[in-house]
Amino acid sequence: MSVTITINGRRVVAHEGQTILEAARSAGIPIPTLCHHPDLSNVGACRMCVVSVKGTRGLQTACTTPVSEGMVVETESEEAREARIFTLTMLLTDHPNDCMTCEVNGECELQDLVYDYGVAWPEHSGERHTYQVDPDPNPFLFIDRNKCILCGRCIRA
């Protein structure tokens, strides 16, 4: 069964049971994410996909909120943009500032979102958390917990 929703003023036909994120992406409407992966369960951990939904209190995570008939969604409301900028700023406060030498430079979802939202590296005086690089003896995985953004993908995989 299909439902009709409105995203950013555009009428979108979605399937019942789809999330706002799935409906938006199927219509070519981008919503940023860090924790979402199509092969994993949706948890809304990163909070980057927050959207404003008319008639609801506060922001909703697009990856976990199912569509409903007549739903009106705004993906780039001022409140959603401010929340994303805050989230990115908090992630950067404990993230190594080594993008230029990082092996995923240019193919980093966090880096892309930081540029898209114009977030500057925060000035702070405390020490960041530091972890031993790859303390896991598993020969098939390399883990650098210093670059963890708490998305939960590695745990859910």
Provide the pLDDT for residue 115.
92
For residues 147 and 86, state if they share a domain: yes
For residue range 70-93, what is the model confidence (pLDDT) as tens digits?
999 999 999 999 999 999 998 888
For residues 52 and 89, state if they share a domain: no
Residue 38's pLDDT band, with cuts at 50, 70 and 90, is confident
Which of 76, 95, 110 finishes a domain?
76
Residue type, 89: T
The C-alpha atoms of residue 53 and residue 7 are separated, in whole angstroms, by 9
For residues 71 and 53, state if they share a domain: yes
- Whole-angstrom distance between the N-terminal and C-terminal Cα of the chain? 30
Domain region containing 124: 82-156
For residues 58 and 119, state if they share a domain: no
Q: How many domains does the chain have?
A: 2
Which of 76, 111, 126 finishes a domain?
76
For residues 63 and 108, state if they share a domain: no
For residues 96 and 53, state if they share a domain: no
For 115-152, the DSSP string reads: HHTTPPPPP--SPPP---S-----TT----GGG--S--
For residues 70 and 12, state if they share a domain: yes
For residues 99 and 53, state if they share a domain: no
For residue range 104-138, what is the model confidence (pLDDT) as tens digits?
778 889 999 999 999 988 776 566 667 777 666 67
Q: Which of 5, 8, 4, 6 is nearest to 76 (CA)?
A: 8
For residues 131 and 110, state if they share a domain: yes
The C-alpha atoms of residue 13 and residue 20 are separated, in whole angstroms, by 11
**Paired strand residues for 66:** 19
Provide the pLDDT for residue 94.
79
For residues 69 and 86, state if they share a domain: no
pLDDT over threshold 70, residue 5: yes
pLDDT over threshold 70, residue 8: yes
Give me the helices (H) in 27-126, please: 78-93, 109-116
Q: Which of 23, 24, 48, 22 is nearest to 35 (CA)?
A: 48
Which of 48, 76, 104 finishes a domain?
76
For residues 112 and 92, state if they share a domain: yes
Q: CATH number of the domain at 25, please.
A: 3.10.20.740
For residues 92 and 143, state if they share a domain: yes
